[in-house]
Structure 1
Amino acid sequence: MRNRFILLLIIALLIPLNYIQASSLPLSEVDDIHKIIEEENLSLQEWELLIKEQVGSEQFSEVKKNIEVMFEKPLKKVKETDMMIKLQASIYANDVTESITIIIPKQDKQQFNIMYTIVGTKWNEQIEDTYNQKINSLLQRVFTENLTKFSCFTSQPDGMMNSGYLFKKLVDELNINTLSNIKENDFSVLSGYTPRWNSVIPISDEPMNVQIASRKGLGGKTTITIGTPIITNEY
Structure 2
Amino acid sequence: MKKSIILAILCMFVANNIGMDPSEESRNELMDLAQFMMTENAPIQEWQTTWKESISPERKDALVKMLSRKYEKSVTKDEKKVKISFKNRHISKGINVLFNVVIPRHGNASAEFIAVISGNGWNSNTEENYTLINQSFMNKYFTNSVRRFACLTTRGNDIINGDYFLTKLTNYFQVEQIQTQFDTVEQSTHKKIIYGYTPLWKQRISIEDAPMNIQIAVEENGSDNPTYMIGTPILINEY
TM-score by length of 1: 0.83
Instruction: Supply the distance in 2 between the matched residues of 1:20 and 1:50 (Cα, whole angstroms).
Output: 20
Q: Aligned partner of 1:217: which letter?
A: N
Instruction: Supply the distance in 1 between the matched residues of 2:102 and 2:6 (Cα, whole angstroms).
Output: 26
**C-alpha displacement of 1:227:** 0.7
**C-alpha displacement of 1:187:** 1.3
Q: Aligned partner of 1:209: which letter?
A: N
User: Does the 8 Å contact 2:5/2:235 carry over to 1?
Assistant: no
The structure richer in helix per residue is: 1
Superposed CA deviations along residues 95-144 of structure 1, whole A, max 9, x for unmatched, are 11110011122224663111111111022233223222222322233222
Counterpart for residue 164 of structure 2: 165
Counterpart for residue 92 of structure 1: 89
RMSD: 2.8
State the percentage of identical aligned residues. 25
Residue range with higher mean Cα deviation, 205-214 or 6-15: 6-15
Counterpart for residue 29 of structure 1: 29
Matched, 1:155 2:154: yes
Q: Aligned partner of 1:166: which letter?
A: F
CA distance 1:61–1:193, shift in 2 (3 Å) = same
User: Does the 8 Å contact 1:163/1:214 carry over to 2?
Assistant: no
Instruction: Supply the distance in 1 between the matched residues of 2:198 and 2:237 (Cα, whole angstroms).
Output: 20
Counterpart for residue 15 of structure 2: 13
User: Does the 8 Å contact 1:18/1:146 carry over to 2?
Assistant: no
**C-alpha displacement of 1:44:** 1.2
**C-alpha displacement of 1:221:** 4.2
Counterpart for residue 187 of structure 2: none
Instruction: Supply the distance in 1 between the matched residues of 2:169 and 2:231 (Cα, whole angstroms).
Output: 12
Counterpart for residue 59 of structure 1: 59
Regions of 4+ moved over 6 Å: 20-23
**C-alpha displacement of 1:167:** 0.6
Matched, 1:226 2:230: yes
Instruction: Supply the distance in 1 between the matched residues of 2:15 and 2:108 (Cα, whole angstroms).
Output: 20
Instruction: Supply the distance in 2 between the matched residues of 1:77 and 1:182 (Cα, whole angstroms).
Output: 39
**C-alpha displacement of 1:191:** 1.3
Matched, 1:127 2:129: no
The residue matched to 2:14 in structure 1 has which SS?
Answer: helix
Q: Aligned partner of 2:134: which letter?
A: I
Q: Aligned partner of 2:206: which letter?
A: P
